[in-house]
A and B are shown apart, each in its own frame.
Chain A
Amino acid sequence: MTQIKKSLPYIIAVVGAFIAAGIFIAAIQYNPFEAYKTLITTSFRTPNGFIQTLMKWVPLTLTALAFTVPLSSGKYNIGAEGQFLAGAIGATTVGILLADLPPALLIPLVIIAGIITGALWGLISAWLLYQFNINEILSTVLLNFISFQLVDYVATGPWRDPSAGAPTTIAIGQNGYLPMLIKNPPLSIGVILMILVAIGIYFYTNKTTSGYELVATGANPRAAKVHGIDTRKMFLLSMVIGAAAAGLAGAMEVSGVQHRLIEGIHSNFATLGLIIGLISRGKNQAVPFVAFFIAVLEVGASAMQRTMMIPSQVVLIVEALIVIFILLSDLIKRRQK
């Protein structure tokens, strides 16, 4: 009963956002009921739609964790995009350079390379914060713009695939492809890896001492410091863990989906990751569920644009409204206390 009472404000917030966006859709001369039907059901009507949803679920969960883990310590990582791309670059580099290794070696190496380069990219911001007290929002965002240029440089350099239209590298060695769970439509074991990471992060933040210190830092940095927690180290640690998750997402997008580095490979994953993190209100354990919901909406959005000609950006408005309404529901709860 208390569980229902607790989740009621969120349900109202989500429903409210859909109603508000529905009015907007009607105002721009489309049928909101048809639109929502396509939006919600596309993922579940065909196996293909469901697999597509799962494929989006993987990077969305990981980029959202890249935001929520640092947020647990009170820091805002807006750089999942750059960390994702750094991970993709690292994975591609290893996958091309060591293409001849057997799968048992190459697959873990590609993935680990992505995790490490992603973490290092995040470490730059974390270190700037640690050493010079530079606002992490700014440094992570600026590094995103630098990473776009870096991807362009790698994808148009010696590894460029001249037969592709957009800047793209040649494929990584076949031995570096993530094994498939389902052949057709294709789904790699990335989804299992992602679930393990999400569980691991939940375990770390909720069941370990170091994780507890991290959350304590976010809850009240002053009190944490008084009790002997090195809060600045906690900021650093949480930023690097988050960045590693984003790097892993980048590596799996290369190794499990595209098999090469493509300009724009990051899609809108990182922006959605931020939205997912905000809807989860920073709770790591809520992220996979919210991410699945957003993946359903995203797959529905492209179907909606295809069949009904409604611009897919409409969904971004729905998502932003959910964020705002959930923030408002928090406020109402705070007032009631």
Chain B
Amino acid sequence: MTGIETFLVEFLKLTFLSMVPFVLAGQGTMLGGRTGVFNVAQEGIMLTGASVGFLVGYTSGSVFVGSIAAMLVGGLFGLILAYFTTTLKMDQFVVGLALFFVGTGLSTLLPKLVLGITLTPPLIPTLKNIPVPLLSEIPVLGPILFNQNILVYISVLLSILLWYLLFKTNLGLRLRSVGENPKAADSLGISVNRYRYLTTIIGGMLIGLAGAYLPMVYTGTFTELMTKGRGWIVIALTFFGGWSPLIILLGSIFFAGIEVLSYRMQVGGSVIPFQFLNMLPYIGTIIIMIFTFGKSRVPAFLGQNYDRERRTL
């Protein structure tokens, strides 16, 4: 292979590796949004997921147990969000922001309580690559697509599954109707609240797992504010993806590509100061929003609570 080829293989392999937090948190956000609950606490939930995933993974000695714990905590955040917005009908942005604070504070507090104040943080083993038999032998494509960690495969399968569920099944149709017109859904006997709780909790679990991916794959440990805005970028990603699972998957590859590019260019030694390369993911996101906002289809009741006793929608 020539130099360019190895560079490209390496680049694409890293891109697929880095897309996972975007896919998981993006699908989680999409799920809640499809029934009308607009979660804006991703950054906080991901941080707590990273913190809990790391701590439980470390104390139990198993990354699997750590991931489950991160999902449970994420699900708890989802439950709280659903309770405050769906049952108590409080403003979704305000509750989301409050949960963002709680999550951010909790994520730095927990390691201090569990581990004490240490100079050298402990490490957990990072996820191993699992080569798919036969497929990983394919030249070029094999190492890029079929020699990755388990969550890369899971995030692709999850996206396809969610697409099928939302657009090809009766359940999906009912679920989407809650976000498009809860009053009509309600009158057909669909329980608006039950669907909102369900999607927000599952969404929270996926976002928590997305956070746990960071210590499990990138660093092996938890560092303060390690999500670096990925939670916010995910919100832009779901708009970019038109709240549709497969386009969110494609968008994740794209956003991950920008992230990897900004790192690769720094390692490669570029004339552009590294601070400006670090800005790339954020500037890229803003530019993408300019082209997609207002054009992409959004669930009609996104961010709005439904009160069946109110006369007008």
* A residues in contact (CB < 8 Å) with B: 28, 76, 78, 128, 132-135, 137-139, 141-146, 149-150, 152-153, 156, 271, 274-275, 278, 311, 313-314, 316-317, 319-320, 323-324, 327-328, 331
What residues on B are CB-neighbors of A271 within 8 Å?
101, 104
Minimum CB–CB distance for A270 against chain B, Å:
12
Q: List 21 A-B contacts (CB under 8 A).
A: A78-B97, A132-B290, A133-B294, A134-B293, A137-B93, A142-B286, A145-B282, A146-B279, A146-B283, A149-B275, A149-B276, A150-B275, A153-B273, A271-B104, A278-B98, A313-B112, A316-B101, A316-B109, A317-B102, A320-B101, A323-B98
The DSSP consensus for interface residues of chain A is helix
Let me know if B165 is at the binding interface, CB within 8 A: no
Residue B94, interface by CB 8 Å = yes
Q: How many A-B residue pairs have CB under 8 A?
A: 101
User: Which residues of B lie under 8 Å from residue A138 when comparing CB positions?
Assistant: 232, 235-236, 285, 289
Q: How far is the CA of A134 from the CA of B282 in the complex (A)?
A: 14
- Decide: A320 near B293, CB < 8 A? Known: A150-B275, A327-B90: no
Most buried by A among B90, B279, B294: B279
Q: Any chain A CB within 8 A of the CB of B278? A: yes
Find out whether the CB atom of B282 lies under 8 angstroms from the CB atom of A146: yes
- Contacts A76-B93, A137-B93, A313-B109 known; A142 to B101 CB distance under 8 Å? no
Q: Are B294 and A132 in contact (CB under 8 A)?
A: yes
In the complex, A153 Cα to B276 Cα: how many Å?
8
**From DSSP, what is the main secondary structure of chain B's interface residues?**
helix
Given A28-B113, A138-B285, A146-B282, 17 more A-B residue pairs with CB atoms under 8 Å apart are A128-B286, A138-B236, A139-B286, A142-B285, A149-B279, A150-B279, A152-B275, A156-B275, A274-B101, A275-B101, A313-B105, A313-B109, A314-B109, A319-B101, A324-B98, A327-B84, A328-B88
Residues of A within 8 A of B275 (CB): 149-150, 152-153, 156
A311 contact set on B, CB distance < 8 A:
109, 112-113
B108 CB–A CB distance under 8 Å: yes
Question: Please, how many angstroms separate the alpha-carbon atoms of A135 and B84 in the complex?
Answer: 23
Query: B91: shortest Cβ distance to chain A, in Å?
Result: 8
